[in-house]
């Protein structure tokens, strides 16, 4: 999951033009993960996971 978040944050940082610091992503709510996925161009966290990992998506 940490690698997935790194990819998402890289996309977001590119779009925002600034660096984002991760404090403790393991404690993020599903709603927060959905918002990050939206910023990366996906409908929700599950769609992002499916795109990255195929049918073996993990939450």
Q: Compute CA distances 30 → 14, 15, 46, whole Å.
A: 23, 22, 10
Percentage of the chain beyond pLDDT 90 is 17
From residue 15, give the alpha-carbon distance in Å to each of 31, 35, 53. Answer: 21, 14, 23
Question: In the predicted model, what is the mean pLDDT of the chain?
Answer: 79
Q: Tell if the pTM clears 0.75, that is, is over it.
A: no
Query: 54: number of CA atoms within 13 Å, CB side?
Result: 1
* Burial 12-38, CB ≥16 within 10 A → b, else e: eeeeeeeeeeeeebeebeeeebbebbe
pLDDT for 38 beyond 60: yes
């Amino acid at each position: 999951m940490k690698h997935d978040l790194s990819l998402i944050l890289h996309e977001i940082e590119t779009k925002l033009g600034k660096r984002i610091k991760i404090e403790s992503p393991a404690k993020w709510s599903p709603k927060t993960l959905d918002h990050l996925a939206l910023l990366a161009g996906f409908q929700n966290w599950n769609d992002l996971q499916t795109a990255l990992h195929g049918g073996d998506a993990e939450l």
